[in-house]
């Protein structure tokens, strides 16, 4: 009976790890797409600044509307400062790094659970029924450790 509940606990842990992994995958994708977009925007306003300052066009090179080049330059200056002052790109990169680390830790928990499971299954086939108590304890403690990580 205790063995069945340990297996159930292991399955619940594995499900929880998998749920956490897919949530993380979604978050990572979102943060990375924000990094790309912010990066692209920052390059665009940099190039726009250079273009406006050099050629002083009276129509916008992107949408062709009539513009005042000095007003447009002032606007780009404000946008550049906004991107620099908020430091959004470094912040997003830091967040992406944390999410990747978190994912690695979940993946290693999953691997550990699978390895222990395989070991336990192997022992069950070779010996006559009983699994060594110490190994079972190790497995249960690993499940608890993983649960504790998930419940942080
Ligand atoms: Zn425009």
Query: Ligand 1: distance of its center to the CA of 93 in Å?
Result: 29
pLDDT digits (tens, 9 = 90+) for 63-106: 999 999 999 999 999 998 888 888 888 888 899 999 999 899 88
Question: What is the domain extent for residue 14?
Answer: 2-150
Q: How far is the CA of 59 from the centre of ligand 1 (A)?
A: 8
47-60 pLDDT per residue, tens: 999 999 999 999 99
For residue 89, how far is its CA from the centre of ligand 1 (angstroms)? 24
CA 88, 90, 95, 101: dihedral to nearest 10 degrees?
Answer: 170
Distance of CA 66 from the midpoint of ligand 1 (Å): 8
Per-residue pLDDT at 73: 94
Domains identified in the chain, total number: 1
33 CA to centre of ligand 1 in angstroms: 24
pLDDT-based confidence at 2, cuts 50/70/90?
A: low
Residues 97-127 have pLDDT tens digits of: 999 998 998 888 888 877 877 777 666 555 5
pLDDT in tens, 5-45: 667 777 787 888 888 888 889 999 999 898 899 889 999 99
What are the residues whose beta carbon lies below 5 Å from ligand 1 (ion)? 60, 62-63
């Amino acid at each position: 009976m205790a063995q069945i509940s340990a297996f159930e606990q292991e399955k619940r842990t594995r499900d929880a790890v998998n749920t956490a992994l897919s949530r993380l995958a979604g978050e990572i994708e979102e943060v990375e797409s924000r990094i790309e977009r912010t990066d692209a925007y920052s390059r665009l306003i940099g190039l726009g600044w250079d273009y406006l300052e050099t050629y002083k066009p009276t129509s916008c090179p992107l949408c062709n509307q009539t513009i005042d080049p000095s007003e447009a330059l002032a606007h780009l200056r404000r946008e550049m400062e906004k991107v620099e002052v908020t430091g959004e790109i470094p912040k997003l990169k830091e967040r992406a790094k944390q999410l990747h680390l978190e994912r690695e830790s979940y993946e290693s928990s999953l691997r550990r659970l699978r390895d222990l499971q395989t070991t336990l299954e192997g022992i069950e086939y070779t010996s006559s029924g009983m699994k060594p108590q110490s190994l079972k304890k190790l497995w249960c403690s690993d499940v608890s450790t993983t649960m504790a990580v998930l419940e942080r």
